[in-house]
Structure 1
Amino acid sequence: MKTLLLSAVIGSALFGATANAAIITPINQDPAGIGLNDPTLRAPEGGNPGKSVGEQRRIVYQFAADLWGAVLQSDVETFVGASFQDLTCTATGGTLGSAGASWIATTPPSGAELGMIYHAPLANALNGSRITISAAGTDITSRFNANLGGSNPDGTPCMTGSGWYYGLDGNAPENLISFLDVVMHEIGHGLGFSGFVGYTTGRLGERVGIPQYYGYSDVYTENAFDNLSGKRFTEASMTNALRVTAIKTRGAPAWNGATTRAQTPQWLDPAVVLSVNGSSVKTQFFGTASFGPAATPANFAGPVVVANDGTGPDTADACEALPAGSLSGKVAYVNRGSCAFEIKAANAQAAGAVAAIIGNVASSGDPGTAPGMAEDASVNATIPTLSVNLADANLIKTAAQAGTPLTAALGQVAGQFAGADSSGRPLLYAPAIVAGGSTFSHFESVLVPDALMEPANSPNTDAGRMVDLTLAAFVDEGWSLNAGTARIGSCDTGVKLFKNPGLIAGANVQAQDRLCRTTANGNRALYLRCMNDTAASLKAASMISTVEQAGIRTCAAKVTSP
C-alpha cells in the first residue's frame, strides 16, 4: 500500500550538522481540471477556507508540509510530488495513499559495518547540501485515491459511503477520512518511515530494487528487533530466513531505537491482554466487534466452553441454535465461518453465554489475523465478543479436547504497554499474509492510542496537532529536530514547536500563521480572527496553556500587514 519509487541512487559520505527548519514544498503533478486542480465547488470546512475541491486539497498538502518542516532540521529544501490517481479500491476498503522516497543515497560497507541506505530527504539533511534529485524534480513521491466514495474507472464502487474530509481541525465526520492525516502519514513514509527488507527472501536492501545494494541495511531496518530470535534485524547472526519469519509473525518485529523506547510509556496506554488460562493463549492481538458492549476486564471473564450446535460439518460454528442453558455463565468459544459474527454471538447468548470468543479458521482469507467483526441487522447480540487468530484458536480447541479446564480473562499487564513488547519496544506491523508496501513499514495496529504510522487510517488520530512516536523514530534514524518555539514573524509565542511524545502545537501555530496570512489577503481583522481562533482551538484541546494562548494572540497582534 505504501510503495517506494527509487529513481536515483547516489553513494555519498553523509556528514555535517544542520540548524535550519526544513522547507518542504509540494509539487502539484496533476493536470488541469483533476485531482489537486479539481474545480468542483466545495464549501469551506474545518478551518480550510478553500472554495473548490482542488483548492482545499492544495491547502491541506501545504499545511502538512509546513507541519513537518517546522519540527525537522534541514538546510536542503525537500520537494514532494503529489497527485491523485486510480488506486486499488473496493466497496469496503482500499488504498488511501502511497508514498516513498523518490531516490536514495548510500554509504558503502566498511569493515564489519554494512552499507547503509538513506531516504532522500534525510540524506540531503545529513549531507548539508543537495546530493541529487529525481528526474521529476522530487525527493518524495506521493499519490492519493482519486475515487474515494465514488466509482473506480471500471464502474465498481470505491469505499461506498466514504469520502475525503479536507478540514484541518481533526474533526472528520464518522463516514469521512481526514485528508490531512493521510498526507501527514504518506510524507512520513518519504521522510524515512519505511524499510527495504525483502518480503519473501528476508534479504536486506532488496526492496530498493537495485541488486548492487542488496545486503545493505537502511536507517529504518537498523532500528528493528526480532522478538522471536532475540536479535537485531541487521546483526550478523540474523539470517534472511529469520527475517522472513519475523515480518510475518505478529508481535515479532519491534522498534528498538532508544529515543522511541524512552517515549513509549509517555504515549501508549497499559497493555490489555486476552488470556485463556489452561491454554498458552495470552495475546494483545485480539479482534473486537462492532456489535454488543465493549469487552472489559469486568464483563469478559469466566470458564470457556466450546459451543456445539450439533449441526453441519462444523458443530462449533454456532450458526444454528445451541441447546438451551448449554453455555450458562460461560464464555463461548465459536469457530468463524458459515454465518455472520453477530449471529454466532446471539446464538451463544441465547444458550446462556456471558461472552464469546470467535476463532479464525484455515479457510479464511487471512487466518493469521484476529478478524474484526461486523454487526448483522437480523439479530441483536448484547454480550461482549472478541476474536482470535487461527493459531490461538487451535490452542484453545486442543486444550478443550484434552479436557483441560479453560478460563478466559481480559486484563492489564503491569509494566507493559499497548502495542509494545515486554521491553517497551513498539511493535511493527507483521501480518501472516504479506501486505505489499505495508508489512514492516508501519507500527502495529494494536497500539493504543492509535498512531499516525499504523497501516490503516484511524478516526482517533489528529496529525495536525500530534504525530505521537513518529518524531522519536525519526530521531533514531538520524534526523535532528527543532527544539525551539513557534514564531510569528520575529515574535516568539513561547509555544514549543513540539513536546514529547510528538505533540506539535507550535508547528501548528506556524502552519496556521501561513494559512491565515494567505486567507486574509491583507485584511488584518481577518488575520487576527483566524489566529485567535487557532489559539482558542489549541487551548480547548489542552495543547497549550493560558499563557501560551496569550503569547500567540500578542504576537499575532504585532502583525500589521498580513
Structure 2
Amino acid sequence: MTKSPLLAIAALALSCAVAASQAATIIIVNQNAPGIGFNDPTPATPVGGNTGTTLGQQRLNAFQHAADIWGATLTSSVPIRIGASFVPLSCTENSAVLGSAGANEIWSDFTNAPRPATWYPSALASKIAGADVATPGEPHIISRFNSRLGLFPDCLPGPGFYLGLDNNAGAGIDLVTVLLHEMAHGLGFQTFTDDETGAQIQNIPSIWDHFLVDNRNERLWANMTDAERVASAISGDRLSWNGPTVTAAVPQVLDPRSRLTISGSAAGNAAGNYDVGDASFGPPLGATPVTGQLMPVVEQPDGTGLACAPLNTTNALAVRGNIALVSRGECPFVDKARNVQAAGAIGMVVADNAPGEPTGLSGSDPSITIPSVRVTQAAGVTLRAALQARSRNRSGVIASLGIDPARLAGTDARRRVLMYTPTTNAPGSSVSHYTTEVKPNQLMEPSINSDLSHTVTPPRDLTYPLLQDIGW
C-alpha cells in the first residue's frame, strides 16, 4: 500500500459528527483557534433555518447541514473526517476565493483496490478497503473557507456568505452550496495529476484520469504522455468524462444546447449556426426562438459598442425591435442588457474581446426580460463584417436565438459531458470541474452560480454520478 500526503494540517480542535443512522458518517474537525472561524463569538440573528446565535455557530451549522446531505447520499462503513476552518483567503473588492478543499492523503494498491498502481483519495480508499487507511489522527479531507468575505471593504463587500439552510440566498453567496462543492472535491472530484505540466505523482495516474478521454482520438488521460495531457487541459472542448454512470444520467439532467442562427439576404459568409454561452439573467432560450434583425451598438472609435451607458438616439433607433450586438468589456453584462432592453432591443448578443470558447454571461437582475448570449471573439468579427452595409434600423442579417434539439448543452458528439479546459490554464479549476457550457448550471462548475439547489443527484445534478464512477 502506497501513500502520498497532499496537504499539511493544523492542530485539531473540536469536532462534530453526523448521526450514525445515515448512510455515511461525516465528522467535522474544527481546526480554528478559539475566537475565530467556527469559534467566532460575533452575535448573529438566526436565518433560514439556521438557529445559531453567533457567527461561528452558524458557520458550523451550515457545515453540518452540507455534511448531512453528503452523508445521506454516500455509503461507507468508515467515518469520513473533514478538517475544516474559516481563514482569510485571497480576495479583492471585485473577486474572492470562496473556499478550497481536497484530499489530505492519496493511496494506491490498498486492500480491495479496483485498479492497481492508481491513486485514490483517502476517504474513497477507506470506503473500498472497508477500513480506515488514513494516517492515524489525520483527516481524510482538508477544507478552508474565506472568513473575510463580505465583512471587509477589500474582500468582495456586500452580503457575503448566506448562512441560512433554506437555499434562499438572494444576493448573497449560499454557503451550503459552496460547502457541497468543496466537499465533493475532497471526496474525489479532482485529479491528482498536474494539469499544468501533465506530470503524475510518482508516475502513477489518478483514478480520475482513467475516465478523462480526448473526444477526438478517444485516448484516456491515464495513457497519455505528459505533453498530451497538457494539450488536452487547454483544449477548450476536447476533454470529456467517459464514466458510464455520468453518461447514462446526462440525458435526464442536461438541457438542449443554446445556439445563435444567422440567416438573411445580407448574411453572406456569416450565415450558419454559432455556439453560444448562456446568460444567468433574463429568460432561458427555448424551442420557440427569438428572432430579429441583428444590429450593432456603435460608440467606440473602432466601430464597436459596449452599451455600458444608456444608448444614444442613433443606437436606440438601431436596436429597437431588433437584436443588439455589443462588445464585452468595461461593465457588468447585466448593465449592457439593461441598457439595450431600455432602448427597445428584443435580445442581446455579446461578442467576446479575447480568444476562447464561448462561456456564460454572469450576473443577476430580475428586471431583465430579454434573452442574452455570448459568442466568441472570432464570431463577433464575422458578424460585424456582415453588418457593414446596413440602414439606420435594418441590416438584412437575421439573428435567431434558440436551441439545438439534437445536442445537449456541455456535451460532445457522443453526449458525454465536457470538462472545464479553457485555452489558458486556470490552476485549481482546469480539468477538475465540469464545463461552464452545461445547462442547467451544475454544482461542480468552476464558479458557484446563484440558481443552484442543495442537490447532488439526478435529475438535477451530475456530481454524485461522477463520484459513483470513481468508486463511491
Distance in 2 separating the partners of 1:390 and 1:189: 32
Q: What is the aligned counterpart of 2:128 among 108, 112, 126?
A: 126
Distance in 2 separating the partners of 1:165 and 1:343: 24
Helix, strand or coil for the counterpart of 1:116?
coil
2:327 maps to 335
Q: Against the structure 1 CA distance between its residues 381 and 170, is the aligned structure 2 distance closer, same or farther, given a 3 Å change threshold?
A: closer
Q: What is the aligned counterpart of 1:414 among 390, 400, 405?
A: 405
Q: Against the structure 1 CA distance between its residues 125 and 262, is the aligned structure 2 distance closer, same or farther, given a 3 Å change threshold?
A: same
Kindly provide the amino acid, as one letter, of the partner of residue 290 in structure 2.
F
Distance in 2 separating the partners of 1:67 and 1:293: 30
Cα deviation digits, residues 506-552 of structure 1 (max 9, x gap): xxxxxxxxxxxxxxxxxxxxxxxxxxxxxxxxxxxxxxxxxxxxxxx
Distance in 2 separating the partners of 1:281 and 1:98: 42
Distance in 1 separating the partners of 2:456 and 2:292: 42
Distance in 1 separating the partners of 2:68 and 2:280: 38
2:146 maps to 1:145: yes
1:223 maps to 211
Q: Against the structure 1 CA distance between its residues 162 and 240, is the aligned structure 2 distance closer, same or farther, given a 3 Å change threshold?
A: same
Q: Against the structure 1 CA distance between its residues 417 and 230, is the aligned structure 2 distance closer, same or farther, given a 3 Å change threshold?
A: same
Q: What is the aligned counterpart of 2:185 among 178, 183, 189?
A: 189
Q: Against the structure 1 CA distance between its residues 22 and 279, is the aligned structure 2 distance closer, same or farther, given a 3 Å change threshold?
A: same
Cα deviation digits, residues 239-262 of structure 1 (max 9, x gap): 544433332244332222111111
1:389 maps to 376
1:552 maps to none
Helix, strand or coil for the counterpart of 2:183?
helix
Kindly provide the amino acid, as one letter, of the partner of residue 80 in structure 2.
T
Q: Against the structure 1 CA distance between its residues 452 and 219, is the aligned structure 2 distance closer, same or farther, given a 3 Å change threshold?
A: same
What is the CA distance between 1:370 and its match in structure 2?
A: 4.3
Within 5 Å, which residues of 2 pair with 1:12-161? Answer: 21-107=23-109, 115-133=117-135, 137-151=138-152, 156-161=153-158
Please tell me whether the aligned partners of residues 359 and 370 of structure 1 are also in contact (alpha carbons under 8 angstroms): no
Please tell me whether the aligned partners of residues 306 and 397 of structure 1 are also in contact (alpha carbons under 8 angstroms): yes
1:234 maps to 221
What is the CA distance between 1:140 and its match in structure 2?
A: 0.4
What is the CA distance between 1:357 and its match in structure 2?
A: 1.9
2:163 maps to 166
2:233 maps to 247
Cα deviation digits, residues 141-188 of structure 1 (max 9, x gap): 00011011112xxxx52121122222222222x122222221121111
Helix, strand or coil for the counterpart of 2:221?
coil
Helix, strand or coil for the counterpart of 1:435?
coil
Distance in 2 separating the partners of 1:138 and 1:235: 27
Cα deviation digits, residues 266-319 of structure 1 (max 9, x gap): 2222332233455487455425375x776666563234455555x62x112266
Helix, strand or coil for the counterpart of 1:137?
coil
1:261 maps to 247
2:391 maps to 1:429: no
Please tell me whether the aligned partners of residues 341 and 375 of structure 1 are also in contact (alpha carbons under 8 angstroms): no
1:300 maps to 290
Distance in 2 separating the partners of 1:28 and 1:424: 41
What is the CA distance between 1:473 and its match in structure 2?
A: 0.7
Cα deviation digits, residues 15-74 of structure 1 (max 9, x gap): xxxxx9332211100000110111122222222222222222222222322332233222
Distance in 2 separating the partners of 1:280 and 1:233: 36
Kindly provide the amino acid, as one letter, of the partner of residue 477 in structure 1.
I
Cα deviation digits, residues 63-90 of structure 1 (max 9, x gap): 3223322332223222110001111112
Q: Against the structure 1 CA distance between its residues 81 and 279, is the aligned structure 2 distance closer, same or farther, given a 3 Å change threshold?
A: same
Please tell me whether the aligned partners of residues 280 and 395 of structure 1 are also in contact (alpha carbons under 8 angstroms): no
In structure 1, stretches of 5+ residues that fail to align are 9-19, 480-562
Cα deviation digits, residues 213-237 of structure 1 (max 9, x gap): 23x321222212223x23243264x
Kindly provide the amino acid, as one letter, of the partner of residue 160 in structure 1.
P
Kindly provide the amino acid, as one letter, of the partner of residue 57 in structure 1.
R
Aligned length: 436
Moved more, 160-169 or 468-477: 160-169
Distance in 2 separating the partners of 1:284 and 1:348: 22
Q: Against the structure 1 CA distance between its residues 338 and 150, is the aligned structure 2 distance closer, same or farther, given a 3 Å change threshold?
A: closer
Distance in 1 separating the partners of 2:329 and 2:7: 45
Q: Against the structure 1 CA distance between its residues 326 and 81, is the aligned structure 2 distance closer, same or farther, given a 3 Å change threshold?
A: closer
Cα deviation digits, residues 350-383 of structure 1 (max 9, x gap): 9986433221224xxx86554636699xxx9986
Helix, strand or coil for the counterpart of 2:383?
helix
Distance in 1 separating the partners of 2:450 and 2:319: 36
1:486 maps to none
Distance in 1 separating the partners of 2:103 and 2:186: 4
Please tell me whether the aligned partners of residues 299 and 384 of structure 1 are also in contact (alpha carbons under 8 angstroms): no
Please tell me whether the aligned partners of residues 26 and 80 of structure 1 are also in contact (alpha carbons under 8 angstroms): yes
Q: What is the aligned counterpart of 1:372 among 361, 377, 380?
A: 361
1:178 maps to 174
1:494 maps to none
2:360 maps to 1:360: no
Distance in 1 separating the partners of 2:117 and 2:271: 41
Helix, strand or coil for the counterpart of 1:54?
helix
2:304 maps to 1:316: yes
What is the CA distance between 1:433 and its match in structure 2?
A: 2.9
Helix, strand or coil for the counterpart of 1:83?
strand
For normalisation by structure 2, the TM-score amounts to 0.79
Q: Against the structure 1 CA distance between its residues 261 and 370, is the aligned structure 2 distance closer, same or farther, given a 3 Å change threshold?
A: closer
Helix, strand or coil for the counterpart of 1:47?
coil
1:200 maps to 196
Distance in 2 separating the partners of 1:200 and 1:242: 11
2:6 maps to 1:6: yes
2:437 maps to 1:440: no
Kindly provide the amino acid, as one letter, of the partner of residue 207 in structure 2.
V
Q: Against the structure 1 CA distance between its residues 297 and 86, is the aligned structure 2 distance closer, same or farther, given a 3 Å change threshold?
A: same
Please tell me whether the aligned partners of residues 56 and 166 of structure 1 are also in contact (alpha carbons under 8 angstroms): yes
Higher Rg = 1
What is the CA distance between 1:440 and its match in structure 2?
A: 1.5
Helix, strand or coil for the counterpart of 1:438?
coil
Please tell me whether the aligned partners of residues 168 and 180 of structure 1 are also in contact (alpha carbons under 8 angstroms): yes
Please tell me whether the aligned partners of residues 318 and 347 of structure 1 are also in contact (alpha carbons under 8 angstroms): no
Q: Against the structure 1 CA distance between its residues 324 and 262, is the aligned structure 2 distance closer, same or farther, given a 3 Å change threshold?
A: closer
What is the CA distance between 1:422 and its match in structure 2?
A: 3.3
In structure 2, stretches of 5+ residues that fail to align are 9-21, 264-268
For normalisation by structure 1, the TM-score amounts to 0.68
Helix, strand or coil for the counterpart of 1:437?
coil
Please tell me whether the aligned partners of residues 451 and 461 of structure 1 are also in contact (alpha carbons under 8 angstroms): yes
